[in-house]
Amino acid sequence: MIGGGLAGSEAAWQLAERGHEVVVHEMRGVRGTPAHKTDRLAELVCSNTFKSTETSNAHGLLKAEMRLLGSVVLWAADQARVPGGSALTVDRDVFSGAVHERVSTHPRIMLVREEATDLPSPGIVATGPLTSDALAEAIRRRLGVESLAFYDAIAPIVSRDSIDDAIVFRASRYGKETMDGADEGGAYLNCPFTRDQYEAFIDALTAADQHHGHEFDEVPYFEGCMPVEEMARRGRDTLRFGPMKPVGLRDPRTGRDAYAIAQLRMEDRGGRMWNLVGFQTRLRIPEQQRVFRTIPGLENAEFLRYGSIHRNSYVNSPASLTAHLSLRDDPLVLFAGQLTGVEGYTESTATGLLAGINVSRMLAGEPPVVPPPTTMIGALYRYLREADPAHFQPMNANFGLVDDLPTRVKDKRVKREQLAERALGEMSAWRDAHTLSGATL
């Protein structure tokens, strides 16, 4: 096990509880990262919440599924819980103390303080967004230079059913651009701006409040990763000549080119999630809601993922890894945690949990398994397997990833409750079918 963060601690525990001897290589203690402050396993680097516990919320559902599989990280979070409404909020020291104690004193786990510089087989690499340089180099040598990114530049994603079809229109520029899943109308949804709407949008964008992260998190902007607000500051027309250029996109309602266009590109094959092309941003979340909802057609947009720009090492999983997130030429070298292109504490832990289960299965001569895409964990894995490698960006848990219900349910809350009920039923059945009883906690 390389890395004793959230994913690594969970994976090590799952393996040890299934009878395997595990060595965890964690470099903190001999070598720090720019964000961690202690040498404890599973340190939370920033906020102290695992988000909602309600299963009608995507993060709540993800946690409920992980509980069915016996997550030690969630067990520790319960021990460390502090009041936080419906969110699972923790005392960070009590939390990492509990994980550290439980994992490092396990009779089958040995904790070694050292920086790993190579990929172990069998083994799990879960070195997170701040993977050390030497190991990052080893990953690039093995997977190819293009396969490991050091920054993410994430554009927001909105749900299809929250986009106003009375305003947006479907078209590809000059009718030319094509992509998988594009219908005859074209690959993109286009939000047309009048001049006044564009001017008001630029004013709102340039005045909005942006997130200031740690110093190490200051990303050297290069083309393709420049925040949309930074482009807007460079000149009032910069966006109109960049990602918002209106040419070749005639608005069928007016018969003319709009003054500017914001484009949305389909993010998933089911067409439930649409990505605001070129809108990577450092705006704070409430500001993203306020400013991007002034885009014509997105007045009621439901954000499934917010934009961000971070320092973040992650593998282009759809281009480089197998369905269970192993090397293609060695199924026993798995990746887990944020390094696989999931985003967030809980998502990272979930991939650690499944990696531990799968290494255990393979060592026993059984094939690796992944839950169905009707579950949140299965849907995240499907994203990592099937997302377009050319536009791959890290992803958090959200309902847009999960297969639709067989019949349409209009009420959003009812729909989510039904999706959650189905997911938990299928996760239990999947667990039992593969005799994956949760670890004892």
Give the C-alpha distances (Å, rounded to integers) separating 57 from 140, 217, 429.
36, 29, 21
Q: How far apart are CA 332 and CA 20, in angstroms?
A: 14
Interaction of residue 118 with ligand FAD, rule CB under 6 A: no
The phi and psi torsions of 122 (rounded to 5 degrees) equal -75, 150
Interacting positions 318-357 with ligand FAD (CB under 6 A): 337-339, 344-345, 348
* Least Å from the CB of residue 133 to ligand FAD: 8
Among 64, 69, 130, 419, binds ligand FAD (CB under 6 A): 130
Give the containing element (helix H, strand E) for 308: strand 308-315
Closer residue to ligand FAD in complex, CB, 43/403: 43
Picking from 186, 269, 201, the residue whose alpha carbon sits closest to that of residue 237 is 201
Distance from C-alpha of 298 to C-alpha of 193, rounded to nearest angstrom: 12
Nearer to ligand FAD, 129 or 192 (CB): 129
Among 377, 342, 179, residue whose Cα is nearest residue 268: 179
CB of 417 to ligand FAD, least distance (A): 24
- Total residues at interface with ligand FAD (CB under 6 A): 35
Angle, helices 6-17/92-104, rounded to nearest 10 degrees: 30
Residue 394 as a binder of ligand FAD (CB under 6 A): the answer is: no
Closest CA to 65 of 424, 421, 432: 424
Structure tokens at 316: 């282009």
Taking only Cα atoms into account, the Rg of the chain, rounded to an integer number of angstroms, comes to 22
Cα gap 3→12, rounded to integer Å: 10
List the one residue out of 42, 52, 34, 36 whose CA is nearest residue 3.
42
Question: According to the binding rule CB under 6 A, does residue 281 interact with ligand FAD?
Answer: no
| Only segment of 42-50, 155-163, 183-191, 241-249 that touches ligand FAD (CB under 6 A) | 42-50
Which CB atom, from 275 or from 340, has the smaller least distance to ligand FAD?
A: 340
277 touches ligand FAD by CB under 6 A: no
Q: How far is the CB of 350 from ligand FAD (least distance, A)?
A: 10
Nearer to ligand FAD, 40 or 265 (CB): 40
Among 60, 70, 123, 128, binds ligand FAD (CB under 6 A): 128
Strands (DSSP E) along 167-229, which ranges?
Answer: 169-171, 188-193
Among 35, 182, 363, 441, binds ligand FAD (CB under 6 A): 35
To the nearest whole angstrom, how small is the minimum distance from the Cβ of residue 353 to ligand FAD?
11
Contact region with ligand FAD (CB under 6 A), list: 130-138, 151-159, 262-270, 431-439: 130-138
CB-closest chain residue to ligand FAD: 5
- Secondary element (H or E) of residue 377: helix 376-386
Residues that bind ligand FAD (CB under 6 A): 2-8, 25-28, 33, 35-36, 45-47, 115-116, 126-132, 135, 214, 217, 337-339, 344-345, 348
